[in-house]
Structure 1
Amino acid sequence: MSALFTPLKLGTIVIPNRIGMAALTRNRATGTIPTDVMREHYLQRAQGGAGLIVTDAVLVSRQGTEWQDAPGLWDQAQVEGWKKIVDAVHGAGSKIYAQLWHTGRVSHPEAPQQILAGVPVYAPSAISARGGKFRFIPGAPGYVTPTELPDPKTVVALFKEAAVNAKKAGFDGIEFHGANGYLIHQFLDSSSNHRTDEYGGSVENRARFVLELIAAVQDVFGPDVAIKLSPCGGYNDMGMPLSETIATFGYLLAQIDALPTPLSYVCLALYNPYLDIELEGTMRGTTHDVLQTYKGYFKSKPRRTKLFLNSGIQPDQAETFVGDGEGDVAGIFFGLAWIAHPDLAKRIQANKPIDNAVDLTKLYGAPGVDPNLGYNDYKAAV
C-alpha cells in the first residue's frame, strides 16, 4: 500500500497519507451544537491515521432536515464546539475540513429547526422531490413542494458566513456538499431546476450557483476549498439523462480546473446502489464510469486540480487507483468503513482485516440512547 501512504499537498497544508474520512451524517449534536461525544469520535479516527477528516455535513442555517441533531456553523456556541474537535484532531496529527451543507427542497416546514428559522423550505424551483420520510414528525410525512428561492445570492452569503465561522474554529479548509440531491446538486440538475433566470436553463446557468459559492468561500479560505459531487445522482430523487449529466458535470469540472485559485481537491462519488433509489419501478441514478468519463475535463498541465474518489471503494482498489502511474487520482475517501474501524488507515497500512460490522440499529443514534453506542464503541486492532 505504498501509494496510499505517500504525503500529499492540498492547498496550503500537507496530509500524511491519501486516506480520507468522508463526511458521515451521524446525528450526535445537541440540537445543532457539536458535542464532546463528537470530539471523541473524530479524535479516535485522527489517532487511527486519517490523513484528512471531513466533518459531518454542517448546516449553514436552520433547516428542517430529515436528520435530527445535525450540527451547524452559524453561531458562537457552534464555533466553540467545533474548535474543541478541531484542536483534538490537530493534536493527534491529522487535518480536518468542514463540509458545508444546505439541504434545499429535502427539508420539511414542520421540522423544529425549520420552524425556528421562520422561513419556507427553499429550493431552486418549486418542484418536490419524490419520497422522503421524516420519522420524527407526527405521521412521518414525506417531502413537500418547496418555495422557489428568490435570490440565490442570499444563500451564497450564508455559506460565506459559515466559512468565516469555520475559520474561527480553526478548520484547515472547507468542502462543499455538492452531492446526493442537496441544494447545490438541485441547482445543477435540470430535473429539479426549472428556473428561467440566470441560474437556470443552460448548463452554464445551472452551474452558476456553485461557482459563485466557490468564489465567495475562497475569499475566506483561499486555496483550501474543495467540493464533493455525485454525477450518478439517484439519492433524493436526482438524475438527468446521461448525455445531459455528462455535459453538466463536464462543464462544471472544466470551469473548476480553470479557476484563478485552484480548489484543493474535487471528490467524485462513484455510482453506488446504496445511494440510489427506486421510483416507479426504475433506479433513479444515471449509471456510468465516473473516473473514465470526467478525468479528461481536467485539462491543465501540470494538473492543477487534485481528484479524490469515494463510495464503495475497497483498500486494494484504492491502492490501484492512486498508484496506477497516470496521476489521475490523488486520494480516496472512505465512508462506512471509518464508522466501524476507528483505526482504518492503520489497519490498511498493517494489512489487518477490515472486519468490524456496522451496527445499523445504532448508526444514527436515537433519543434517550447513549450516543456513544454505535459511534465511539468500535474497537481498534492496531
Structure 2
Amino acid sequence: MTDNLFQPFALNETITLNNRILMAPLTRCMADDDLVPTQAMAEYYGRRAEAGLIISEAVIIRPDGQGYPNTPGLFTAAQVEGWKKVTQAVHDNGGKIFAQLWHTGRVAHPHFFSEKTGSDAVIAPSAIAFEGTVPRMRELVYQKPTPATKADIEQLVADYAQAAANAIIAGFDGVEIHGANGYLIDQFLHYGSNQRSDEFGETPENMARFPLAVVDAVIAEIGQDRTAIRISPGAYVHLPADPRDRAVFDYLLAQLESRNLAFVHVGIFDDALEFDYLGGRVSSYIRANYNKTLVGVGSLTAEMGSAAIAENKYDLLAIGRPFIANPDYVARVREGKELVEYSEEMLMSLV
C-alpha cells in the first residue's frame, strides 16, 4: 500500500533521492557545550541514512540565535568539523542530508549567548515579547526583544549565507532555511509579531522582504538546487493567528515558486489542524499556491503520506518522532513490520 514511497525522486538535476521518505528536523539538544556536534550525533544520523533525505535538527547560524540548551551551531570552525563527522556517517551509509539553518529571533534568550556577544539584546522584527519560559529551562523567562535595524537585517542575511557556505564545507548536500514555527524568519511573516512601519513591515511585499533576501543570498552562495525552505502559513506555535497573514503567504509562495528551489517544506506539527483564513489545512493551502516540489509533514503515518502523494497533495513525506523511535523506519515500513511507539523518554538519549 506504500510502494510509491520507495520510488527514487529527483529534486533537480543535481540531487536525486533514493526514496520519498524524509527524516524531519528533530531538535535533540545533544551538542556539546560549545555547540559542536558529537560522535554520538554522528552515529545517530548515520543509523537513519536510509531515509531519502535527512533534514538535520535546526542549526544556529550565529550565537544570538540560540534559544535552547546544547543546540548545535554552524558558525565556528570546530562546529563545521563536528558536522563533517555527521555528514560522513550519513554518506557512508548511502544517505543524503540537508542542514536546517536557524535563528530563533524573539524566542532566543541571552542566558545562552550574552558572554559570547557581550550583549543581552534579543533580536526580532518588533519589540513584542513572547510570553512564557524556555523549554527544559523553565527558570528563564522570555524578554522583550530589540527591533532589528536595517543594518542588523543586512548582517543577518550575510550570516545566513555564511552558514550555508559552512554547511557545504561541512559536507551537507544542501540546506533548508528554517522559516517556520514562529522563529525569526517566520516572525517577519506574521502580523502578530511584525508591527514595523518601515520597508520590512505593514504590507505583504515588505514583510516578505527579509525572508526572500535570505533565500536569495543562500542561493547566490550555494545554488538554488541545494536550497530549500520550511514555512508556516498557519500561526500555531510561538505566534498568534491573524487573517491578514494569508496575503503575506500568497505573495511569498509566488515569489518562492519563481526561484526554483529544491523544495518547500510544510511547517506544522499536526496537519489535521485547519485554519479558517487558509481555507483548511496548511499543506492544502500551500499546494494550491505552489506547484513545485512540496514536502508534507505533521503527525502523518506512512500510509497517510503514501495516499497523499498518490493524490498529488504533496511530493515527499517527512516523518518526525517515529524516526526517533525507529532508526530503521524506512526498512520497517517497506517490509510491513510493526513500528516501535515513540515516548518522551527517548528524548534523553541518542540511539
**Shared fold per TM-score greater than 0.5:** yes
The equivalent of 1:143 in structure 2 is: 142
Q: Distance in 2 between matches of 1:9 and 1:18?
A: 10
Q: Which moved more, 1:116-125 or 1:167-176?
A: 116-125
Question: Cα RMSD (Å) of the superposition?
Answer: 2.2
| CA distance in structure 2 between the aligned counterparts of 1:273 and 1:290, rounded to whole angstroms | 7
SS in 2 for 1:347: helix
1:212-251 → structure 2 map (5 Å cutoff):
212-222=213-223, 223-236=225-238, 238-242=239-243, 244-251=244-251
Residue 4 of structure 2 aligns to a residue whose secondary structure is coil
- Which of 43, 46, 56 is matched with 1:40 structurally? 43
Over 3 Å counting, the alpha-carbon distance change for 1:78 and 1:95 in structure 2 is same
User: What amino acid does structure 2 have at the position aligned with 1:231?
Assistant: P
**What is the CA deviation profile of residues 345-381 of structure 1, one whole-angstrom value per residue up to 9, with x for unaligned ones?**
11111111123332x1451x4xxxxxxx3x21xxxxx
Q: 1:311 to 1:182 in 2, by over 3 A?
A: same
Name the counterpart of 1:338.
Answer: 323
Residue 369 of structure 1: aligned partner = none
- Matched to 1:336, the amino acid is R
What letter is aligned with 1:351?
Answer: G
Q: How far apart are the structure 2 equivalents of 1:55 and 1:256?
A: 22
The one-letter amino acid paired with 1:347 is R
Deviations 1:163-220 (A, max 9, x none): 1111111110010111111000001011111111111110111011111001100112
Classify 1:135/1:265 alpha carbon distance in 2 versus 1 (closer, same or farther; 3 Å).
Answer: closer
Q: Is the 8 A contact 1:10 1:224 kept in 2?
A: no
Percent identity over paired residues: 38
**Conserved in 2, the CA contact under 8 Å of 1:96 and 1:172?**
yes
TM-score of the aligned structures, taking structure 2 as reference length: 0.92
CA contact (8 A) 1:232 1:239 kept: no
Which residue in 2 is equivalent to 1:205?
206
Is the contact between residue 324 and residue 346 of structure 2 (CA under 8 Å) also seen in structure 1? Answer: no
> Any conservation in 1 of the 2:101–2:176 contact (CA below 8 Å)?
yes
SS class of match (1:141): strand
Aligned match of 2:5: 4
Return closer, same or farther for 1:228/1:239 CA change in 2, 3 Å cut-off.
Answer: same
Q: Secondary structure at the match of 2:338?
A: coil
- For the Cα contact (< 8 Å) 2:269–2:297, is it kept in 1? no
More helix by share: 2
- Provide the C-alpha distance between the structure 2 equivalents of 1:287 and 1:344, rounded to a whole number of angstroms: 33
Q: In the superposition, relative to structure 1, how do residues 114 and 57 fare at CA in structure 2: closer, same or farther (>3 Å)?
A: farther
Residue 279 of structure 1 corresponds to which residue in structure 2? none
Taking the TM superposition and a 5 Å limit, the aligned residue runs for 1:1-382 are 1-11=2-12, 12-31=14-33, 32-46=35-49, 49-63=50-64, 65-109=66-110, 111-119=111-119, 120-133=121-134, 135-136=136-137, 140-151=139-150, 152-222=153-223, 223-236=225-238, 238-242=239-243, 244-259=244-259, 262-270=260-268, 272=270, 288-298=280-290, 303=291, 305-324=292-311, 327-358=312-343, 360-363=344-347, 365=348, 373=349, 375-376=350-351
Secondary structure in structure 2 of the residue aligned to 1:174: strand
Letter in 1 for 2:16: V
Q: Distance in 2 between matches of 1:287 and 1:69?
A: 38
Residues 232 and 287 in structure 1, CA contact (< 8 A), matched pair in contact too: no
- Deviation of 1:274 after TM superposition, in Å, equals 11
Shift of 1:153: 1.1
Give the letter for the 1:216 counterpart. Answer: A
Write the letter of the residue equivalent to 1:85. V
Give the whole-Å Cα distance in 1 for the aligned partners of 2:278 and 2:250.
15
Give the gaps of 5 or more residues in structure 2: none
Q: Please report how far the alpha carbon of residue 24 of structure 1 lies from its aligned counterpart in structure 2 after TM superposition.
A: 0.6
Q: 1:245 offset after TM fit, Å? A: 2.7
CA distance in 2, matches of 1:291, 1:357: 24
